[in-house]
A and B are shown apart, each in its own frame.
Chain A
Amino acid sequence: MPWPWRARRDRGADLEREIRDHLDLEVEEHEQAGLPPDAARRVARLAFGNPQLVREDTREAWGGGGLERLAGDIRYALRLWARSPGFTIVALLTIALGVGAAAALFGQVNAVFWKTLPVARPAELRLLAWTAARHPFVLGPNVLDGPGVAGRETFGSFSYPAYTSMRDGTRTFSSLACWSDLGEARPVVVDEQGFAALQFVSGNYFETLGVPAAIGRTLQPHDDRPGAPAAAMISHRYWQRAFGAASPVTQRTLRLNGETFAIVGVMPQGFFGLDPSVSPDVVVPVAAVRIAAAMANPLEHAGLWNVCRIVGRVREGVGDEEARADLEAWVQQAIAAAPPDGPYDPPRVWLIDGSRGLSALRDAASAPLAVLLAVVGGLLLAACANIAGLLLTRGRTRGREIATRLALGAPATRIVRQLLTESLVLSVAGGLLGLAVAYALAGTGPALLSQFVPTLFGADRSLAISAAPDLRVLAFAVSLAVLAGLLFGVMPALHASRVDLVAMLKETVSEPRSHRFGITGGQAMVAAQTALAVLLLVAAGLFLKTVANLRNADLGFDPRGVLYARVEPRTGGMAQTERRQFFEDAVKRLDGIPGATAASAASFAAFGGSSDAIITSAQAWHGCTPESIARNLPLRSTAFNLVLPGFFATMGLRLVSGRDFTWADNVPSGQRPVIVNEAFVRAFFGNAEPIGQAVAFGPHCQAPQPRFFTVVGVATDSRASLRGAFEPTIYAPLGEFSGPVTLMVRTSGDPALMISTVRRAVAELNARIPTFSEATLVDLRERHLRRERLLSDLLLVFASATLAVCCLGIYGMLSYSVTRRRSEIAVRIAIGARAPDVVRMIVRESVVPVGAGVVLGCAAAAALTRWLGTILYGLSGPDPWTIAAAAAVFLAVAGAAAAIPARSAARVNPLLALRAK
């Protein structure tokens, strides 16, 4: 058992006394035997042996020797690093940045993928999803995408009757709650505050999740009854932002879409519900969905299936399969109570683990985070390689010290252990510094991630997930630092301990030891870093090209000069019947604005709204013609869009034949005109003349009586997304469309300057119906490029950093070589070598490692192109130009880095150099 530290010190003193006493007694003995005093002393000393060795061996016997050695090594390492502050600071910063960035990234990954929801006992929660091949019991597209089940597309929301059936009938769940976030599909406006991120929840929602109120009380079941006083809760952040953290807030009210709600409580800080990708400002009972709904009594409608996402807490001891089957039975019973016309498949219910909530954020963030992880990992590797190279260089200058210690009897493992300790001290110190970096970067994480999630009302979402480092991140950072230390320390340590003693003691500096292939460790490091730098440069180049290709993709129309503004009359409490007139008036008013050359409106606008959508806004149904129905042809999908007259002129599309809609068409009458695009003609009519033909789509195609429309015009094709194809599209008059509508204006000047004018124009029409998500089409297209642009920017930054690190390494290697070969250079110059010869001699040392690295990097880059495949755009296979350009950039910068020491070599004064030797 090792003695404690203070006792060790005392024992050390004791031992000294003992040894001294022993020697004295020996001397005495010899003197008594007749020797003169100094002879006696000498004999005694010789007989005793080496006192230092005695001390060491005794200390061994005390145990805990390993720990004491380690402490000694650490102290020595600290002194060593303090002696060369330049190198130490550079190394510390490099490690801190690398480990810090990796830890920050890991913190993001932790927050997005592994942290559970801030609710009670999250492992007990289950989210519901369902699948059914035929589901006519769902009216139209009124259902939300579900949380993923392996390899399947599921639906994630239910009708209110289905929910109540499950809630009241289940015996396997202790509680089931309903909630929904309808986003921009059902916008809600808070008077004097603007648009609010709002969620509808059932009365037992907070009870099911086990979340208390931070202030006031949570919503309760009695708030969720029809006719109950309108109650709302607000989020902590909203309370601070909109109410200035005023108290008492429970006496304040909110007007939502014209209706007054009393604030009954504030949600706890950091609570965001069940979807990490959204953070609601206001939460109201499901019974209040009337404020945003398109129809009366949406809760009683059996065909409206976007009302309830469901979360439940399973009873203890109940298995998932039993619970699932139980709920499935209740859902099927609810459908059977109000069955649709025609055959349907009873839905299959799926239970999904709810401890981490919905996967929207995870799905959006996984690709960018993976790329970032790879890039940061590469940078860290490059940094380690660099430090390893520098340590190898330093190792040679410490050759004498190590040779001396080996000669004094230290075993090689002891040397290796000590050198490794030095590296670890450096890396752990750098790693702890890096943790500080990670803490600093933690706040930027959610902001960065919000770029990958669709916007809400035109602004980036403010994610409520907290990416602050926790224990897991701390452990990761420390292990990474230790790993880095071992990685860059082990080779120099092994190399340095294998020193040729005699040669080392005689010479001042030795030749580098070549390994099998004739390159040293330092050169291998340079090669590795070169490969990494070239790889990152190629990746950056590929993404830059992708962005450029996407930006220039042909959309079928010219996006310049077009401005969008979305509007939803329901936010001003407008009735359904008044909508048609409102849209018409708005468009006519916008058309009259000075600077506007055309104006129109549409239910779906290319690139507008929530385009990589949580709720599908581009509605794609099946199209049919009388012929296709009669001949029972397979259904072909078509997109459809509801528009007002002037749409094609505003968007910059041409009418190839026929006519545009008129205002008379917008009023329901006998004639049902539609316009189709060329792709539709190709798909459904082939070469036949489309004008005058009958078509139908979606539910209008269903038996028993398909209701057909007449084609009155054909327009040119357009694309709705940068990577999508030209799809068949049917255009029909907008009428009194019950969802949010996009107003569009084509301007003669810069559309960005017209945003406030448009806003004002609509406000003059009706002050209680504000527009939202105003943006120019060019900006929206840029937003679609956000992910690729972010990746290319990041890659460019990291590639530059790796390039700089690598060139530092080349510079270091060559300048050391110059120092080492100074006498050789001097001799050559004295004999008659000229500057270019000397430069060539020095640079030649770097040719092999750099060349190998470039080749390796290019090969890896070719493989990378294949692997990146679908993320890139417009690039088929490995792109030789990008690879060549990256290699050229690298060689140019590396050449400059190599030129500096080479030039200084050429200026060596032979006389001075040789004399010094």
Chain B
Amino acid sequence: MGRDTARGSMLQGMLDMLILRTLQYGPAHGHDISRHIRQTSKDVLQIEHGSLYPALHRLERRGWIASKWERHAARKREFRYYRLTPAGRRQLAAETSRWRTLAEAIASVMRPAEEH
């Protein structure tokens, strides 16, 4: 597509995981999700909005999240809300454990040298 695809599936997988985790707290629309991730990570993780929507639609195609247009409580307009499906919950659990294993592995490599 003429863009740098060097991010690869690892980063794509992480983005998926972050989205699923965010939705675990409850339904949200796209803007909410990106803002939540930004705020929770204290501005470290800033989702490029151009990756957010493709990711959301990809997750929806896989059946891990579902979407619906709903009326916002405060405003007089509809937004598209995404929610986690049961399959998505299972996927989140799997991804989380995979991520933990990866994080521990990296941590043990990076640990300062202790006793020999």
**Smallest CB separation, B111 vs chain A (Å):** 37
**Smallest CB separation, B44 vs chain A (Å):** 16
A75 at interface by CB-CB < 8 Å = no
Q: Cβ of A867: which chain B residues have Cβ within 8 Å of it?
A: none
Q: Cβ of B57: which chain A residues have Cβ within 8 Å of it?
A: 15, 58, 61-62
Q: Cβ of A9: which chain B residues have Cβ within 8 Å of it?
A: none
**Smallest CB separation, A53 vs chain B (Å):** 6
CA distance in complex: A18, B68 (Å) = 12
**Smallest CB separation, A647 vs chain B (Å):** 90
**Could you give, for residues 39-70 of chain B, a 1 whenever the CB lies within 8 Å of some chain A CB and a 0 otherwise?**
00000000011110111011001000000010
**Smallest CB separation, B1 vs chain A (Å):** 7
Stretch from A44-52, A541-549, A893-901 that touches the partner: A44-52
CA distance in complex: A409, B54 (Å) = 19
CA distance in complex: A49, B77 (Å) = 24
B54 touches A58 (CB 8 A): yes
Q: Cβ of B48: which chain A residues have Cβ within 8 Å of it?
A: 49
For chain B, give the interface size range: 20 to 34
B80 touches A60 (CB 8 A): no
CA distance in complex: A409, B5 (Å) = 13
**Could you give, for residues 71-82 of chain B, a 1 whenever the CB lies within 8 Å of some chain A CB and a 0 otherwise?**
000000101100
The one of A18, A26, A49, A410 in contact with B2, judged by C-beta atoms closer than 8 angstroms, is A410
B49 touches A49 (CB 8 A): yes
Q: Cβ of A47: which chain B residues have Cβ within 8 Å of it?
A: 49
B53 touches A58 (CB 8 A): yes
B3 touches A54 (CB 8 A): no
A50 touches B50 (CB 8 A): yes
B27 at interface by CB-CB < 8 Å = no
**Could you give, for residues 36-80 of chain A, a 1 whenever the CB lies within 8 Å of some chain B CB and a 0 otherwise?**
000000000001111001101110111100000000000000000
B2 touches A409 (CB 8 A): yes
Q: How many chain A residues touch the partner (CB < 8 A)?
A: 28
CA distance in complex: A61, B58 (Å) = 5
Q: How many A-B residue pairs have CB under 8 A?
A: 62
**Smallest CB separation, A484 vs chain B (Å):** 32
B54 touches A60 (CB 8 A): yes
CA distance in complex: A63, B54 (Å) = 11
State the main secondary structure of chain B at its contact with A: helix
B31 touches A54 (CB 8 A): no
B36 at interface by CB-CB < 8 Å = no
**Smallest CB separation, A410 vs chain B (Å):** 6
A723 at interface by CB-CB < 8 Å = no
A22 at interface by CB-CB < 8 Å = yes
Within 8 A of A (CB), among B1-25: 1-3
A17 at interface by CB-CB < 8 Å = yes
Within 8 A of B (CB), among A379-417: 408-411
Q: Cβ of A25: which chain B residues have Cβ within 8 Å of it?
A: 31
B29 at interface by CB-CB < 8 Å = yes
CA distance in complex: A202, B81 (Å) = 84
Q: Decide yes or no: A48 and B2 within 8 Å by CB, A22-B30, A61-B57 being known contacts.
A: no
The one of A26, A57, A60, A62 in contact with B50, judged by C-beta atoms closer than 8 angstroms, is A57
Given A21-B79, A49-B49, A63-B61, 11 more A-B residue pairs with CB atoms under 8 Å apart are A1-B61, A15-B53, A22-B49, A54-B53, A54-B54, A57-B53, A58-B53, A58-B54, A58-B57, A408-B2, A411-B2
24 A/B residue pairs, CB under 8 Å, sorted by A: A15-B53, A15-B57, A17-B80, A18-B30, A19-B53, A21-B29, A22-B31, A22-B49, A29-B35, A48-B50, A49-B48, A50-B50, A54-B50, A57-B1, A57-B50, A57-B51, A57-B54, A61-B57, A61-B58, A61-B61, A62-B61, A409-B2, A409-B3, A410-B2
A residues at B contact (CB < 8 Å):
1, 14-15, 17-19, 21-22, 25-26, 29, 47-50, 53-54, 56-58, 60-63, 408-411
